[in-house]
């Protein structure tokens, strides 16, 4: 009975060489005092109510937290096998898990993501609420099938045990899916194939080569020898699964946005009052952002009316910001131009997703200020460049003000691209004069400052053009390119002088022989 | 009026978007007076252009474009043989100076280079002339004055007029003439898309991001004369003709000269060859040369002397002598190799007395083509022979022929897809779904199946470009063994460049190019079976037990025409035997029943795609089995076909038929042979068809016979097999069969030691040896060598029982050879006590130890496999800190001994074979429930019966000739069963066919004499039953 003796030593000191074997757990029977997990000194600590730890929605920010050591817990693990399938890109799986976490929060406030394809839910507190573990377990399972997710789930007193059971459940097999009693852990896990540990394949292969294919066989091996052969981490995993070792986990925190509403006692009919009412919201929004060291690039104001549908006013910012003054200015500009469709009963300010305030965006401001933004003079010199852009956009429309990016391309119309975000530093350095179409190559071909969005047909006949108002001064420059995106061009470009002195950039299409105006030189 | 002097072909890889032939034909069509092929630092495409130009009569100029590291760009054109040599030498120099596929040219390299070449300088000018241009021009003028031009290339970039003016100015300043050129990259403007794609592939960037690296327009094509007249002033165009007239060099002027040093001083090549031949005669016929042989020798020597081919025979003799001195087994084949002279020179071991019929076509005097001798060497030692040739003749005089690697469907899809910016995963999926048997073209069905919409313009562009790029050269690789050796500098004949393999150099032309120019090459090839035969000889010679005198067994002394050996062959008991071990061969053996050496020659040649497609197999079988009378349409035809019972089987016979029955001249017959080899790729057999059929009708043959001969020619196409090669192969067939029959243990050990080679994996070879009564012993660190070895039987009597085969460490997966060598050295110093002792003394790392444990090779030291793995997995980390025996003292935990199934799985995983029961023996009950009949019992089923069979998939084969049929061989514990999977079934059940390790098949039993197949109807993948068992099928096509 040597092994039995050493086994009990293991229970007491947790330093012995042998794990409890498959029978050891069952041997302990149902008495709590012989249960290895209960034998841990920490297990007597009174559990903190789950609600106190749980992240709540709304204004109070939930902070990432570690669970305290060793309380009696019950973990529900679920594995979504389709998230592991090879055609599923990793980032999609991650965002999918986030969404699933959100829906899991209806069962418990403590949800944790286990990449790449699993969730862990602490459900001890919820069991009572649902009557029994069986009901709760089935209830959660039903949630996945409502979402059409193929899921394998299991419940156990430790995170790893629950995960292993759930993973093994995928392969089928006659092991229990719910273990409530920590005393049942060793026995319940013994028959699981070792693959359920998700250890690296090489390590699993070594184990299989030793004839070790089940977790129970793993538990029988000498602890020090195993630690040396696999890794201390693997032994630690076993300890965690068997509740001999705490396993802190990070809870899932839903993605944040600022969202606050205020209702009016009387209906508001003029924009001026709206602006007043908006001030505290703007202030709190800026505060919210500052606390999180974050900024936004978009805001939405929702105005609720009595009968008509909600008016949604969207605001874009030229760069990520948390600056109250900029937020207020944009809102003000936009509201000034707003015609109220109906009296407003209440409103809600919602931020776009939070973005980190990067050093780069801060540098951009510094650059502008140092460069002395001339255009800022429009408003008595108190605007920064982003503010100017935002003001212009608010007045002319979001689409009217854009940045330009040069693209190395032979087709003139494809050689530049509108961008929303303005690269202000380069615009300032170039004195605002760098224009679409300028190529950086040794030929330095002529390109007009003003390129038409669409070429304008001048004449379908070459002769007529010659007799007309145009004199071809330079060219032809033949451009044949762009077949790969379906917009192949084949044109001969010329610089032409128009009779009134203007210099035009014209081309003749090679196929149709028609003439077009494509740009005007300054 | 115009000659294009600057044109790049597809051999400027990933630049030129037209094949050389296309450029030549288009230049002719447009009325160009001449065309220069000027690939970038390369002459790789000139032979093809030369052949096309010669056919259509367009003057062709040979040249090359060069880009100096300091941006100097020019074209050099050869005027005569000497300047061609200088050009070739510069290309070689630039190419040899750097890694394969690129070149480097510095100004210094141009000193004293390119003598006699005309130079067209291409200043990279924008609008203005820079001081740099002036300097470059002066530098060039100092070196090439009188043969230097400024190239004016007007490509409608917008500043043509200004560019023309500034180059005019530059020319006046430097006093240099100017000439028009086109920087041609494609033969027609419509290749613009392909040219863009090539650029994108070259830059490894999707098209949308390539930007200015693309050409702005499609002007770099061969432009119509009228347009050139509009663009260029007349004098610039006229100048092109002046240059073209000075370039009179033609590739036909290249003449091959054999090396000299193979003849000792004081002798002539003729006298030396005679001396060597006589010496060989004395050895081959100690009792005196038979008169008929003497007559042949005189005839052959006379012919050789007349054609001045002595140096060629002497060169081959020299290479073979070297191999013999190094005890490397070799064997010549090819038409000239089957001469008595070659037998005397020991180039071949095929005794002419066994092959009396062959010599009529040994060298064709009329055709004046270089003689054909390939020499096979042991595949693992061929490199020694190659390096000997390099040493003996030097890198300037000897190099390997190139092989042009061209775009095939899979690579084309990948590269074009990437260039078009398609999702990489999508393209990969498509390319992967083009399995190894999809043939040459792209199937729209597959495109759809891979998730592409064939109607989408994007997909259409993708498909059109992929089709267009197919066959385009991608890069040069080395030919398997074709050596070109020259008397003088080889690099003045053809440029030499570096190959990927270190210490290898290749010329820029491939086999067809060499053939076309009549240049000679010696094929130095590697053959796995020669390695195996040599090893088997060594084992037998060392171990004894042979009926040949101890130590004397070699290719020449193997007793000939052994009836027992032929009996074995007729039973198709030929696993491991050279050539006749394949599925198709094995099913032919019981029908053909070879009883003599020449039967083997036919056997080797007949089971080939050519004869099968030409439907010659069945007529031959019927005639051989007296089921059909042997008739000949005429006396002449009888002379040609008598030895194959009136059915043409060999390539030589088809050509001779063309001569005797259709009136071809030998030269025309040779043209027919070349056209046959190429028609699948290029077409072009029609003129021969008309001539052949007309010729035969005129000579009184029936049209049906004529048509049949032509069909046979088509069938031969790429796959025709020459009798001269079959004859040499047949010798190796016989030798390996003889070894298998008389020395199965040695033969099996030799085959396993020569892996990878042949048709079967060690698992089948070992299983077969055991079936033939060989005792096979497991790998064990205490006794195994690196190679498999023979051990005496324990009772020491060994009479009646051959030696046992001990598996070698070489079959242990993941065991390093260095580790194994240290192990052997440590064992020689003393037996191992325990695993730590082994690990320490042999300094084995954990990986080697684990490999040994997994192979169960440590059983003697550690007990069962699981314990061994436990012990070794603890070793490495203990060693540095603790004394070596800590692990030994650690104690072994309670690990269950592996069950039989676990051991079998582990055996397959580590060794690829097991000496325990066959895995299917364990699954027999499970299979029985599914109605599976063991393979052996299938033989008792009647023909046409519906059966269920199952087994490990050991080979899949889809011969190109078999019109879509896949042959699959399944193995169980009782034997093999062969499946025939028709294309329809294969397509419908592709996944099961390709992915199964354990395959269950329902089908119909088909029996024809002793040959039995199952015609598959329903395939089921049962691999799951095998668990982790690793079975690797060998796939052939």
| ipTM of the modeled complex | 0.72
Q: What are the chain A neighbours of B217 within 8 Å (beta carbons)?
A: 410, 478-481, 490
Q: Pairing between strand B946-957 and B1034-1036?
A: parallel
Residue A355, min C-alpha distance to chain B (Å): 29
CA nearest to B155 within chain A: A478
Per-range mean pLDDT, top range of A124-128, B467-471, B872-876: B467-471
**Are B869 and A210 within 8 A, CB to CB?**
yes
**Are B193 and A484 within 8 A, CB to CB?**
yes
- Among B374, B318, B409, smallest CA distance to B523 is for B374
Does B146 contact A at CB distance below 8 Å? Answer: no
**Are A209 and B850 within 8 A, CB to CB?**
yes
**pLDDT tens per residue across span B435-465:** 544 445 666 777 777 777 878 888 888 888 9
Per-residue pLDDT at B1004 exceeds 90 = yes
Q: What is the mean pLDDT of residues B134-148?
A: 92
Residue A192's contacts (CB-CB under 8 Å, 6 or more residues apart) are A164, A165, A168, A173, A175, A214, A215, A216
**pLDDT tens per residue across span B576-623:** 999 998 877 888 898 889 999 999 999 988 887 667 766 778 889 899
Largest CA distance in chain A: 115
pLDDT of residue A254: 58
Tell me how many degrees the CA angle B560-B563-B565 measures, rounded to the nearest 5: 80
> Do A183 and A34 meet the contact criterion of CB atoms below 8 Å apart?
yes
Report the distance separating Cα B915 and Cα B901, nearest Å: 12
pLDDT of residue A293: 72
Q: What are the chain B neighbours of A208 within 8 Å (beta carbons)?
A: 1028
Strand, helix or coil for residue A348: strand
Checking A501-510 for CB contacts under 8 A at 24+ apart, the result is: A503/A448, A503/A473, A504/A448, A504/A470, A505/A446, A505/A447, A505/A448, A505/A451, A506/A458, A506/A470, A506/A472, A507/A455, A507/A479, A508/A462, A508/A476, A510/A478, A510/A480
pLDDT of residue B677: 67
Residue B857, min C-alpha distance to chain A (Å): 14
**pLDDT tens per residue across span B731-774:** 999 999 999 999 999 999 999 999 888 888 999 999 999 999 99
Does A228 contact B at CB distance below 8 Å? Answer: yes
Of the candidates A211, A229, A485, which has its C-beta nearest B895's C-beta? A211
**Are A439 and B890 within 8 A, CB to CB?**
no
pTM: 0.71
**Are A443 and B906 within 8 A, CB to CB?**
no
**pLDDT tens per residue across span A302-327:** 888 888 888 888 877 777 777 888 88
**Are B866 and A211 within 8 A, CB to CB?**
yes
Q: Which A-chain residues 141-170 have CB contacts (< 8 A) with chain B?
A: none
Strand, helix or coil for residue B621: helix
Does A220 contact B at CB distance below 8 Å? Answer: yes
Residue A172, min C-alpha distance to chain B (Å): 15
Per-residue pLDDT at B680 exceeds 60 = no
pLDDT of residue A150: 79
pLDDT of residue B795: 59
Q: What is the mean pLDDT of residues B693-702?
A: 88
pLDDT of residue B883: 52
> Do A149 and A2 meet the contact criterion of CB atoms below 8 Å apart?
no
Per-residue pLDDT at B196 exceeds 50 = yes
Q: Which helix (H) or strand (E) holds A496?
A: strand A489-498
Report the distance separating Cα B494 and Cα B255, nearest Å: 12
Of the candidates A217, A478, A484, which has its C-beta nearest B208's C-beta? A484
> Do A153 and A131 meet the contact criterion of CB atoms below 8 Å apart?
no
pLDDT of residue A186: 81
Distances (CA, A) of B986 to B963, B990, B1034: 12, 5, 17
**Are A220 and B894 within 8 A, CB to CB?**
yes
**Substitution target from B71, B210, B873 for chain A, most A beta carbons within 10 A:** B873
**Are A480 and B866 within 8 A, CB to CB?**
no
pLDDT above 90: percentage of residues in chain B? 42
Per-residue pLDDT at B75 exceeds 90 = yes
Q: How many CB atoms lie within 10 A of CB A454?
A: 8
- Among B648, B562, B643, smallest CA distance to B610 is for B648
pLDDT of residue B715: 67
**Are A474 and B891 within 8 A, CB to CB?**
no
Q: Pairing between strand A151-156 and A75-80?
A: antiparallel
> Do A107 and A126 meet the contact criterion of CB atoms below 8 Å apart?
yes
Chain A to chain B Cβ contacts (< 8 Å): 112
Alpha-carbon radius of gyration of chain A: 34
CA nearest to A86 within chain B: B425
**Substitution target from A211, A489, A505 for chain B, most B beta carbons within 10 A:** A211
Q: What are the chain B neighbours of A221 within 8 Å (beta carbons)?
A: 893, 895
> Do B572 and B1010 meet the contact criterion of CB atoms below 8 Å apart?
yes
DSSP letter assigned to residue B7: B
Residue A337, min C-alpha distance to chain B (Å): 41
Residue A437, min C-alpha distance to chain B (Å): 13
**Are B196 and A484 within 8 A, CB to CB?**
yes
B457 vs B885, which has greater pLDDT?
Answer: B457
pLDDT of residue B92: 94
Q: What are the chain B neighbours of A171 within 8 Å (beta carbons)?
A: none
> Do B1 and B241 meet the contact criterion of CB atoms below 8 Å apart?
yes
pLDDT of residue A262: 83
Q: Pairing between strand A344-351 and A259-268?
A: antiparallel
pLDDT of residue B682: 54
Report the distance separating Cα B140 and Cα A258, nearest Å: 73
Per-range mean pLDDT, top range of B40-49, B663-672, B924-933: B40-49
**Are B158 and A407 within 8 A, CB to CB?**
no
* Joined tokens for residue B703: 């049209």
- Among B420, B1003, B551, B532, smallest CA distance to B756 is for B532
Tell me how many degrees the CA angle A4-A7-A13 measures, rounded to the nearest 5: 145
Choice among A52-61, B169-178, B327-336 with the minimum mean pLDDT: A52-61
Residue B867, min C-alpha distance to chain A (Å): 7
Per-range mean pLDDT, top range of A449-458, B392-401, B549-558, B880-889: B392-401
Strand, helix or coil for residue B425: helix
- Among B668, B330, B343, B250, smallest CA distance to B522 is for B330
Q: Which B-chain residues 1009-1028 have CB contacts (< 8 A) with chain A?
A: 1028
Residues A80, A86, A88, A93, CA torsion sign: positive
**pLDDT tens per residue across span B346-378:** 998 887 766 654 444 555 555 556 677 889 999
Q: Which B-chain residues 430-469 have CB contacts (< 8 A) with chain A?
A: 457-458, 461
Instruction: Give the confidence band of B891 by pLDDT, cuts at 50, 70, 90.
Output: low
CA nearest to A443 within chain B: B126
Per-residue pLDDT at B777 exceeds 90 = yes
Q: What is the mean pLDDT of residues B924-931?
A: 90
Range list of β-strands (E), B166-234 = 178-180
Of the candidates A211, A408, A493, which has its C-beta nearest B211's C-beta? A408
CA nearest to A488 within chain B: B193
Low-confidence residues in chain A, pLDDT < 70: 1-71, 84-95, 170-176, 247-256, 357-387, 391, 394-404, 418-445, 460-468, 522
Checking B507-511 for CB contacts under 8 A at 24+ apart, the result is: B507/B399, B507/B400, B507/B401, B507/B402, B508/B42, B508/B43, B508/B44, B508/B91, B508/B402, B508/B476, B509/B43, B509/B44, B509/B47, B509/B401, B509/B402, B510/B401, B510/B402, B510/B403, B510/B404, B510/B479, B511/B401, B511/B403, B511/B479, B511/B482
Report the distance separating Cα A362 and Cα A467, nearest Å: 58
**pLDDT tens per residue across span B219-267:** 999 999 999 999 999 999 999 999 999 999 999 888 777 777 788 888 8
């Amino acid at each position: 009975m040597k092994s039995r003796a050493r086994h009990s030593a293991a229970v007491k000191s947790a330093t012995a060489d042998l794990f409890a074997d498959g029978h050891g757990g069952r041997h302990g029977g149902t008495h709590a005092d012989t249960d290895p997990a209960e034998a841990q000194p920490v297990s007597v600590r009174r559990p903190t109510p789950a609600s106190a730890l749980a992240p709540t929605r709304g204004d109070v920010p939930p902070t990432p937290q570690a669970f305290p050591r060793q309380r009696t817990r019950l973990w529900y693990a679920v594995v979504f096998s389709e998230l592991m399938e090879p055609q599923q890109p990793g980032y999609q799986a991650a965002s999918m898990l986030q969404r699933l976490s959100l829906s899991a929060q209806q069962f418990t406030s403590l949800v944790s993501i286990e990449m790449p394809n699993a969730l862990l839910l602490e459900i001890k507190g919820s069991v009572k609420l649902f009557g029994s573990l069986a009901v709760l377990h089935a209830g959660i399972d039903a949630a996945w099938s409502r979402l059409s997710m193929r899921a394998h789930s299991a419940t156990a007193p430790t995170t790893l045990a629950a995960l292993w059971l759930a993973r093994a459940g995928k392969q089928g097999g006659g092991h229990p899916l719910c273990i409530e009693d920590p005393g049942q852990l060793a026995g319940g896990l013994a028959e699981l194939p070792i693959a359920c540990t998700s250890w690296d394949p090489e390590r699993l292969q070594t184990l299989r080569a030793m004839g070790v294919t089940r977790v129970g066989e793993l538990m029988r091996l000498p602890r020090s020898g195993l630690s040396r052969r696999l890794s201390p981490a693997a032994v630690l995993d076993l300890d965690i699964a068997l509740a001999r070792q705490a396993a802190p986990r990070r809870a899932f925190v839903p993605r944040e946005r600022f969202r606050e509403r205020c209702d009016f006692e009387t209906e508001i009919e003029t924009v001026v009052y709206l602006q007043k009412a908006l001030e505290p919201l703007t202030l709190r929004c800026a505060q919210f952002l500052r606390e999180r060291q974050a900024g936004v690039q978009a805001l939405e104001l929702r105005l609720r009316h009595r009968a008509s549908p909600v008016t949604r006013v969207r605001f874009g910012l030229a760069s990520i910001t948390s600056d109250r003054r900029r937020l207020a200015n944009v809102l003000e500009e936009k509201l000034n131009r707003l015609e109220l469709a109906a009296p407003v009963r209440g409103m809600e300010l919602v931020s776009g997703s939070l973005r980190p305030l990067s050093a780069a965006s801060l540098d951009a401001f510094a650059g502008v200020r140092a460069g002395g933004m001339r255009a800022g003079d429009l408003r008595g010199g108190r605007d920064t460049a982003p503010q100017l852009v935002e003001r212009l956009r608010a007045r002319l429309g979001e689409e009217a003000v854009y940045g330009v990016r040069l693209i190395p391309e032979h087709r003139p119309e494809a050689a530049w691209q509108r961008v929303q975000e303005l690269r202000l530093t380069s615009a300032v350095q170039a004195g605002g004069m760098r224009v679409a179409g300028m190529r950086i190559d040794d030929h330095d071909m002529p390109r007009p400052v003003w390129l038409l969005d669409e070429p304008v047909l001048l004449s379908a006949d070459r002769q007529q053009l010659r007799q007309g108002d145009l004199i071809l001064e330079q060219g032809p420059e033949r451009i044949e390119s762009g077949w790969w995106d379906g917009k192949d061009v084949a044109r001969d470009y010329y610089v032409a002088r128009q009779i009134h002195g203007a210099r035009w950039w014209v081309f003749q299409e090679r196929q149709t022989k028609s003439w077009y105006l494509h740009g005007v030189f300054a | 009026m115009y000659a294009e002097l600057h044109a790049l072909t597809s051999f400027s890889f990933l630049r030129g978007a037209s094949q050389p032939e296309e450029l030549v034909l288009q230049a002719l069509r447009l009325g160009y007076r001449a065309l220069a092929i000027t690939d970038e630092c390369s002459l790789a495409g000139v032979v093809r252009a030369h052949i096309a130009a010669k056919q259509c009569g367009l003057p062709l100029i040979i040249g090359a474009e060069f880009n100096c590291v300091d941006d100097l760009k020019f074209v050099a054109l050869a005027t005569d043989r000497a300047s061609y040599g200088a050009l070739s030498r510069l290309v070689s120099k630039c190419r040899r100076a750097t890694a394969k596929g690129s070149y480097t040219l510095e100004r210094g390299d141009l000193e004293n280079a390119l003598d006699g070449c005309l130079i067209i300088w291409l200043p990279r000018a924008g609008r203005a002339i820079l001081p740099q241009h002036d300097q470059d021009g002066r530098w060039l003028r100092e070196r090439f004055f009188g043969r230097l031009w400024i190239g004016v290339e007007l490509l409608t970039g917008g500043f043509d007029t200004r560019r023309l003016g500034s180059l005019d100015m530059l020319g006046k300043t430097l006093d240099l003439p100017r000439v028009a050129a086109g920087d041609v990259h494609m033969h027609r403007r419509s290749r613009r898309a392909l040219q863009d794609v090539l650029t994108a592939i070259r830059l490894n960037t999707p098209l949308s991001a390539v930007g200015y690296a693309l050409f702005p327009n499609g002007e770099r094509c061969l432009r119509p004369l009228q347009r050139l007249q509009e663009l260029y002033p007349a004098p610039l165009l006229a100048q092109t003709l002046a240059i073209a007239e000075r370039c009179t060099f033609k590739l036909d002027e290249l003449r091959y000269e054999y090396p000299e040093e193979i003849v000792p001083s004081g002798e002539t090549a003729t006298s030396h060859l005679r001396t060597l031949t006589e010496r060989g005669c004395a050895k081959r016929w100690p009792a005196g040369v038979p008169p008929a042989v003497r007559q042949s020798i005189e005839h052959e020597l006379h012919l050789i002397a007349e054609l001045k081919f002595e140096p060629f025979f002497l060169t081959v003799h020299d290479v073979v002598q070297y191999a013999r001195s190094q005890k490397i087994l070799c064997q010549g084949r090819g038409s000239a190799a089957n001469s008595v002279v070659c037998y005397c020179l020991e180039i071949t071991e095929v005794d002419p007395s066994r092959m009396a019929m062959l010599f009529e076509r040994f060298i064709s005097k009329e055709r004046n083509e270089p003689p054909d001798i390939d020499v096979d060497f042991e595949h693992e030692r061929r490199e020694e022979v190659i390096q000997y040739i390099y040493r003996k003749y030097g890198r300037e005089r000897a190099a390997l022929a190139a092989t042009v690697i061209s775009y095939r469907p899979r690579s084309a899809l990948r590269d074009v897809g990437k260039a078009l910016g398609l999702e990489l995963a999508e393209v990969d999926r498509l390319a992967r779904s083009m399995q190894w048997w999809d043939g040459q073209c792209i199937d729209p069905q597959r495109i759809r199946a891979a998730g592409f919409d064939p109607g989408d313009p994007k997909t259409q562009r993708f498909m059109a470009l992929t089709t267009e790029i197919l066959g385009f050269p991608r890069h040069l690789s080395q030919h398997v063994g074709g050596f070109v050796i020259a008397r003088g500098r080889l690099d003045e004949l053809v440029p030499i460049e570096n190959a990927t393999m270190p210490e290898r150099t290749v010329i820029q032309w491939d086999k067809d190019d060499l053939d076309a120019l009549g240049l000679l090459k010696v094929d130095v090839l590697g053959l796995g079976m020669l390695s195996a035969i040599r090893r088997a000889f060594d084992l037998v010679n060392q171990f004894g037990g042979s009926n040949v005198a101890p130590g004397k067994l070699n290719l020449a002394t193997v007793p000939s025409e052994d009836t027992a050996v032929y009996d074995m062959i007729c039973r198709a008991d030929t696993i491991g035997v050279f050539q006749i071990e394949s599925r198709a061969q094995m099913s032919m053996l019981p029908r053909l029943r070879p009883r003599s050496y020449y039967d083997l020659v036919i056997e080797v040649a007949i089971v080939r795609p050519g004869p099968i497609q030409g439907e010659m197999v069945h007529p031959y079988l019927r005639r051989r089995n007296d089921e059909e009378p042997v008739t000949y349409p005429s006396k002449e035809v009888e002379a040609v076909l008598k030895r194959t019972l009136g059915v043409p089987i060999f390539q030589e016979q088809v050509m001779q038929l063309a001569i005797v029955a259709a009136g071809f001249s030998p030269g025309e017959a040779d043209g027919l042979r070349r056209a046959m080899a190429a028609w699948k790729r290029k077409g072009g057999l029609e003129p021969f068809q008309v001539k052949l059929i007309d010729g035969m009708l005129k000579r009184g043959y029936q049209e049906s016979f004529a048509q049949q001969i032509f069909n046979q020619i088509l069938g031969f196409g790429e796959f025709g097999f020459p009798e001269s090669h079959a004859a040499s192969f047949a010798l190796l067939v016989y030798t390996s069969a003889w070894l298998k029959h008389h020395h199965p243990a040695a033969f099996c050990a030799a085959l396993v030691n020569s892996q990878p080679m042949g048709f079967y994996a060690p698992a089948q070879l070992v299983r077969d040896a055991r079936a033939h009564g060989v005792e096979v012993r497991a790998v064990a660190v205490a006794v195994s060598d690196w190679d498999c070895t023979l051990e005496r039987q324990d009772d020491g009597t060994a009479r009646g029982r051959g030696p046992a085969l001990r598996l070698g460490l070489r079959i242990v997966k993941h065991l390093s050879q260095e580790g194994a060598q240290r192990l052997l050295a440590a064992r020689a110093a003393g037996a191992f006590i325990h695993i730590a002792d082994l690990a320490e003394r042999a300094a084995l790392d954990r990986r080697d130890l684990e490999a040994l444990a997994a192979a169960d090779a440590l059983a003697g030291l550690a007990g069962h496999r699981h314990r061994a793995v436990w012990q070794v997995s603890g070793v490495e980390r203990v060693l540095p800190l603790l004394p070596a025996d800590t692990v030994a003292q650690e104690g072994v935990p309670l690990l269950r001994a592996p069950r039989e199934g676990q051991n079998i799985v582990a055996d397959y995983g580590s060794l690829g074979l097991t000496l325990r029961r066959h895995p299917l023996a364990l699954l027999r009950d499970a299979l029985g429930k599914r109605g599976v009949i063991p393979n052996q019992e299938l033989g008792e089923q009647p023909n046409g019966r519906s059966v269920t069979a199952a087994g490990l998939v050991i080979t899949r084969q889809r011969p190109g000739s078999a019109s879509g049929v896949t042959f699959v061989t399944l193995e169980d514990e009782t034997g093999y069963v062969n499946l025939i999977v028709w294309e329809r079934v294969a397509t419908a059940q592709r996944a099961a066919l390709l992915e199964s390790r354990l395959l269950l098949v329902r089908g119909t039993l088909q029996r024809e004499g002793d040959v039995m197949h199952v015609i598959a109807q329903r395939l089921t993948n049962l691999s799951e039953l095998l668990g982790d068992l690793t079975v690797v099928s060998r796939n052939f096509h």
